[in-house]
Amino acid sequence: MNNRIKLPLLLTVLLFAVLGFAQPKPKADLLKIVDNALIGASNQYKFLMTQVPAGVLPKTYLATKKLETSSSTWWTSGFYPGSLLYLNENANDAAILKEALSRQSLLTKEQFNKGTHDLGFMMFCSFGNSNRLAPSKEYNEILMNSAKSLASRFNAVTGCIKSWDHGSWKFPVIIDNMMNLELLFWATKNSGDSSYYKIAVTHANTTLKNHYREDHSSFHVVDYDPTTGKVLGKQTHQGYSDPSAWARGQAWGLYGYTVMYRATKDKKYLKQANDIAQFMINHPSVPADKIFYWDFNTPDIPATYRDASAAAITASALLELCKYTDAKNSAVYFAFSEQVIRALASKTYTAPIGTNGGFILKHSVGNLPSNSEVDTPLTYADYYYIEAMMRYKAMAK
């Protein structure tokens, strides 16, 4: 009788493990580190709040000891209010929430901005988080208008949403654009209009076909002929060279295809996310602390720059992906994320409160080939680091 009970139970446990249901559990010591890091992040952002002039959003802190800001039209504009919303979610701080909502309001007009593909970054990291935490008709309307504006950039011939309106490209699509599709999935779920869903899937499928190499690394930019859909060229505009693997670009793709699987449950997206993760984790250039060099193939490794932003995005993505994949990969992804969080929380990457212009993390790279934001703090590095820590904490519940 007992044997009949134990065998099915054992098979069930094994099945759950194979299917990835036996998710890893956070470590007590790292949870303590994360709790302290989030407290420190809140205190650092309270300092940052005193440094940012009215009517603008923070971008970075330059080596000249100058805070660089942007208007609401810049692609990073949603990360500062988004980070504040996460920090308030963690600690329920009235001053932080007030600042989040005040700065978020600057982005309201961007819901009608059809001149950018970055509305997912801008509006979903800000108003999307606000709507998740405190749903409202106003937020719904802003997000729906944002999705409509983003969808207006879709070209059925190319099968993609256009990225840039500048440069010599005809119809450039960058891997970063995978991060903006989550807004479209939300729009279909919220409205019942499947057109947004179809655009997101079509864009992801075209990107899967044309951006990725045999080793599962990604180009940065693919340029299309908007009248024929033909691929005109493939480049890695912000990386070391066209054939190289720009670190943040790989992270954008990993995060984006993880979201694609969450939204569609299509296993080809899960496979793609796993393939990207394996490329990144197992690459011979990955340093011991798991904070990637700015490009996987730059020949001056190890005497080159790290990119904390790429590592933070990757850690956050892997903490979600480990919930969907098989038990073996789940354990690997979880452990890698833990190593990244430990490193980012260390003195090497976390700035003392009151320094670094008020940003949390040091040592990110924006666009090295253009000598822009090299070895500086970046607002999106902070955002995805905070998100990764929040995801880690949630997995302990």
Report the catalytic residues: 118, 176
Element (H, E) at 61: strand 57-61
Which residues fall within 8 angstroms of residue 181, CB to CB, at 6 or more apart? 120, 200, 203, 204, 256, 259, 260, 263
Strand 67-70, strand 57-61: pairing: antiparallel
Distances (CA, A) of 363 to 35, 60, 301: 22, 11, 15
DSSP letter string, 305-343:
-B-HHHHHHHHHHHHHHTTTS-HHHHHHHHHHHHHHHHH
What is the distance between the alpha carbons of residues 152 and 286, in angstroms, rounded to a whole number? 39
Token reading at 177: 């654009």
Structure tokens at 346: 């260390």
Distance CA 140, CA 292 (A): 37
Cα gap 223→292, rounded to integer Å? 27
Helix/strand/coil (H, E, C) string of 114-177? CCCCCHHHHHHHHHHHHHHHCCCHHHHHHHHHHHHHHHCCEECCCCEECCCCCCCCCCEEEHHH
Q: Comparing C-alpha atoms, which of 328, 247, 341, 312 is closest to residue 285?
A: 247
Q: What is the CA radius of gyration of the chain?
A: 21
Q: What is the DSSP letter of 265?
A: -
Question: Following CA atoms 208, 82, 130, 262 in sequence, which dihedral angle do they give, to the nearest 10 degrees?
Answer: 20
Q: Which residue, 165, 140, 141, 139, is CA-closest to 152?
A: 165
